[in-house]
Amino acid sequence: MNLEVLHVGPLGTNCYITWDDNKTCAVVDCGGQAQKVAEFIEENGLHPTHLFLTHGHGDHIGGVEGFLRLYPDTKVVMAPQDVEMITDRVKSMADAVGSEPSVFTPHILVQDGDCVTCGEMEFYTIATPGHTEGSVTFRKGDMLFCGDTLFQGSMGRTDLYGGNEGKMMQSLKRLAALEGYYIVLPGHGPTSNLDDERRGNPFMKQAVHNF
């Protein structure tokens, strides 16, 4: 499994870098500190082609502008519902979390079920609104890059702009229904797996039983 996690920005957001055997790589949630991300890429001889954003909050999209200055051919991927947050620092909470300025235009707007190919890797889009309207989970093989939807033993906030508790419960229920073993790669905190979350996450259990 070619995967690295870097903790970036003022909130220590999980930025994921994953690559194939040809060293084509994708970044998930740059989050800030583009130079720190670039240092890992250069040290390992990787070639970034796509930057996936799980949602539009400043602690996840911070650093994208700087990353594109370093790698201008990289395609930014996100859901259209959160595009408005890129230029609105109140809706994106960028000022509240101290995120660096980051204005950019996404290249690929994904909907539920869309697949984006990055080298030999395929990223499938699962719409998981609730934390924001445009929150998505990207599935690559047995890995779920779920942003701030699902955390180890917890879930993302629903009281911020675009949040909706009912939609979050439906999203957690949808993730719980995925068949097979999946590694859960959240936007903050430690890595988990879907089996453990189905068994022990009180929010996911509530979603499964009540929604």
Look at residue 136 in the predicted model and tell me its pLDDT. Answer: 98
User: In the chain, which ranges are E strands?
Assistant: 3-8, 13-19, 24-28, 47-52, 75-78, 108-109, 115-118, 121-127, 136-140, 143-147, 150-151, 154-155, 183-186, 192-193
CA angle 89, 17, 147 (to 5 degrees): 45
Q: For residue 150, give the nearest of 175, 182, 125, 170 by alpha carbon.
A: 175
Phi, psi of 159 (to 5 degrees): -100, 10
- pLDDT of res. 37: 98
- Residue ranges of the chain whose pLDDT lies below 70: none
* 145 close to 13: Cβ distance less than 8 angstroms: no
pLDDT above 90 as % of the chain: 95
pLDDT given at position 98? 86
Q: Looking at this protein, which amino acid is placed at residue 130? A: G
Chain centre distance of CA 200: 23
Its pTM stands at 0.97
